[in-house]
């Protein structure tokens, strides 16, 4: 064990010493509370808002120093906080888009307060800004907090346009080189992923491009850096797409269930006579019931 202890000690000597994750998580929660939450009256005056921003700037400056010691932390902090008004407006527009498109949303406050999709999008907006500032490890750490809380994974390197809406959201994965246009809506379980996971492909576009005004329904996978979904298209549920499609297209997976109506002279249905059959050649499914007649 002595050699193992030595190896662990050497590892701690060589690795960058980072703050505990709960410090970053608390920073994000405080940031979100200030910008989007209506759970407190603390920030009803301009003076209280300015005071909190000053505290957050100091905390952020320390985070930059921890995560990127070679960076000019003061300059990085100034760039980030100067971008906040623009990023805040984009996230508010995302929330309004979710409220407009989701009939289950009864108020704008409900979206801000309880929608995991909005939380994931808002955190993405800020983590993407950090990614653009080359604070990549900090950006990834912040985006992973949203992933932990919502089960929605949006890589901070992805490029996402205005008025982005996520409905439900559980299980969504959006890869690093994904490009998403304006007014796009996606549902739970959607993967915008890569065809290849080879390390040598790290610096090429591996994930798809989704143009403006596209809807992608639940559990669909769109893969590949050369795959483009044209504007105004609809991708149905459970679609596996690795080829580009033209604008104004509808893509759907044929999943047919046929149910026979029981006739009036039916005596009984025996146990285990109903079955779901899947044809692996055609992709069709049939629900059948063995009928028993006199």
pLDDT at 37 over 90: no
One-character DSSP codes across the chain: -HHHHHHHHHHHHHSPP---HHHHHHHHHHHHHHHH--S-STT-SHHHHHHHHHHHHHHHHHHHHHH-TTS-HHHHHHHHHHHHHHHHHHHHHHHHHHHHH-TT---HHHHHHH-HHHHHHHHHHHHHHHHHTT-HHHHHHHHHHHHHHHS-EE-TT-EE-SS-EEES-TT-EE-TT-EE-SS-EEETT-EEE-S---GGGTTS--S-EE-SS-EE-TT-EEE-TT-EE-TT-EE-TT-EE-S-B-TT-EE--------PPPPTT-----TT-EEEEE-TTT--EEEEE-----
What percent of the chain has a predicted confidence (pLDDT) above 70? 88
pLDDT at 149 over 50: yes
Average the pLDDT over 30-47 and give the result.
90
Which pLDDT band holds residue 129 (cuts at 50, 70, 90)? very high
Q: For residue 264, what pLDDT is reported?
A: 54
């Amino acid at each position: 064990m002595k050699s193992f202890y030595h190896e662990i000690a050497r590892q701690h000597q060589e690795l960058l010493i980072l703050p505990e994750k709960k410090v970053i998580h608390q920073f994000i929660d405080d940031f979100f509370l200030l910008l989007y939450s209506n759970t407190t009256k603390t920030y009803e005056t301009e003076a209280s808002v300015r005071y909190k921003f000053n505290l957050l700037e100091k905390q952020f400056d320390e985070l930059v120093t921890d995560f990127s010691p070679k960076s000019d932390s003061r300059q990085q902090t100034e760039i980030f906080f100067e971008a906040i008004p623009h990023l805040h407006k984009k996230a508010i527009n995302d929330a309004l888009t979710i409220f407009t498109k989701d009939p289950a949303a009864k108020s704008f406050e409900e979206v801000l307060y309880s929608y995991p999709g909005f939380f994931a999008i808002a955190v993405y907006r800020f983590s993407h800004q950090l990614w653009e500032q080359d604070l990549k490890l900090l950006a990834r750490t912040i985006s992973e907090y949203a992933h932990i809380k919502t089960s929605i994974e949006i890589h901070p390197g992805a490029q996402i346009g205005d008025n982005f809406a996520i409905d439900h959201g559980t299980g969504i994965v959006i890869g690093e080189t994904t490009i998403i246009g304006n007014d796009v809506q996606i549902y739970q379980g959607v993967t915008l992923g890569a065809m290849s996971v080879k390390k040598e492909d790290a610096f090429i576009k591996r994930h798809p491009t989704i143009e403006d005004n596209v809807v992608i329904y639940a559990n669909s996978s769109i893969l590949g850096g050369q795959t483009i979904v044209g504007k105004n298209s609809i991708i149905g549920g459970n679609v596996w797409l690795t080829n580009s499609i033209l604008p104004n297209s509808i893509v759907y997976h044929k999943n047919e269930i046929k149910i026979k109506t029981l006739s009036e002279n039916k005596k009984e249905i025996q146990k285990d006579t109903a079955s779901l059959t899947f044809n692996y050649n055609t992709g069709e499914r049939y629900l059948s019931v063995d009928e028993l007649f006199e």
